[in-house]
Every structure is written in C-alpha cells, then in structure tokens.
Structure 1
Amino acid sequence: MLLNRRIRGMAVAAAVVLMLAGCAGTPSGQAVVGRWGSTSSGQPNLDIQNDGTFAGSDGCNTLSGKGLIDGDEITFGAISSTLMACENVDTWLSKAATGNVNGSTMTVLDDGGSTIGTLKRSGS
C-alpha cells in the first residue's frame, strides 16, 4: 500500500514536471503576437507568430526571421530580406533589433536602443 502511494506520488510529480516543461516554449505574454502595421503599398508591416517567427515588409523588401518573445517585447533575430531598391520608401523596419508593445502600438528600436519607428496593431 505504501509502495502504491509512492508510485502514484512519483507519477503525479512527473506529470507536473512534463506539463511545466511543455509550457517553457510558450511566450509569457501574447501582447507581441499578431499583425502590425499596414499592408498598403510602401508601408511597413509584420506578422508575428507565437514561436517568435515573423514575416512582413519594410515597405519595399520582404522580411522574415525568428525572434524571442518575452512578455510585451520581441528581440528580433537575424532578419532575412530581399534587396530591392525602392524610391521614396524609408526601410527603417529592416534595422529592427527589438520591439516593445504598449497597448496597440509597437515601438521598434535599433541595435543602439534608439527608436526607429512604430507599428500599430492591425486587424486579424
């Protein structure tokens, strides 16, 4: 009887550990996940997934990559981009290092921590 209790207790403990391990890859917040910016011609936009993958445009070139989400912040990893030259388009989004969400606005910063632009949350 004592052995059965111990086995049951160990099984419950193992189940809890497995459940917690399964949550480890889940972002701590959903503030960053979703569509940002405008898909209008020449406008920057990003679509960010739960796992940190992102895709979009800097208004000229298509962008993609994978970042790390932590609460209301994303740290962008290496950004893959096409290399088109577009006149009169500011391609600031291709220089993104981090993005911080406050409400429906994502403030995008470069490697030096300077704000380079903002994106508004767009419809799903």
Structure 2
Amino acid sequence: MKRIAALVLVLVAALGLAGCATAPGQEGASVVGQWGGVPDGAPVLVFSGEGTVTGNDGCNTLTGSWKQANDVITLENMATTLMACEGVDTWLSRASTVKVHGMNLMVFDAQDKEIGVLAQEGTKN
C-alpha cells in the first residue's frame, strides 16, 4: 500500500513539475512543485498548476485543492486517510494555509499557528 502511495506521489510530482504554470491569480513566489518528502517517508506536499494538492504525512495520504491570494495559499476540501501509524507525527493533516518563504514552505493550522516547515524539493532546510 505504501509503495502505491509513493508511486502516486512521484507521478503527481512529475506532472506538477512538468508544467511550470501557476494557478490563475497567483502573485509572488510559486507554490507549484514538491515541498518536503526528503528523506523518503518524510512529510510532503505536491502542488499542481491546476489547483490540486496531494501529500503524505509519513503515514496518511492527503488530497484537496488550493487557492492563492497574495502570499497566502489556502488549502481547501482537504481529505486524508485515517491509518494509525505508531510513532508518526501527523501534524501535516492539520494544515490550513501555507506561505512560500524563500526555499521553504511555512505550514499553518486553522488558528494561523505555524505547525511546520517543508523545504522545496532539491534543497536542504
């Protein structure tokens, strides 16, 4: 099951990175592409230019859509699997908004509290 989820994430990442387009109305730094996921099994979010987002918190798969207004990207209609994985921090499932800050993606919960940071794929945090 984890191999299938990893394969889907790789495919989605490749498709997202293939089109360097950004969603309509975007301003500033682009969120399109993969954030996190290094090393394998680490939390990851993949944003497509078509406004969809997928990810994995190291245990559960996440999927939904996103919209950007100025520098704030809002995650909408998010759904996640509910597998129980001992020892895995599922903080990413609480993500509500994100902001691109250089080569990092700052992740915030619904109360606008920063809950984590994901490095852009290919960079170190």
Match of 1:46 in 2: 45
1:71: how far off? 4.2
Match of 1:61 in 2: 60
Match of 2:9 in 1: none
Q: Normalized against structure 2, the TM-score is what?
A: 0.72
Map residues 1-20 of structure 1 onto 2, 5 A cutoff. Answer: none
Match of 1:109 in 2: 108
Q: Normalized against structure 1, the TM-score is what?
A: 0.72
Question: 2: distance between equivalents of 1:56 and 1:100?
Answer: 16
1:40: how far off? 3.8
Structure 1: give runs of 5+ residues left out of the alignment: 1-23
1 or 2, which has the higher helix percentage? 1
1:73: how far off? 2.7
Root mean square deviation of aligned Cα: 1.8
Structure 2: give runs of 5+ residues left out of the alignment: 1-22
Corresponding residue SS for 1:31: coil
- The size of the alignment, in residue pairs, is 100
Q: Counterpart of 1:79 in structure 2: which amino acid?
A: M
Question: 2: distance between equivalents of 1:102 and 1:50?
Answer: 19
Q: Counterpart of 1:101 in structure 2: which amino acid?
A: V
Matched-pair identity in %: 45
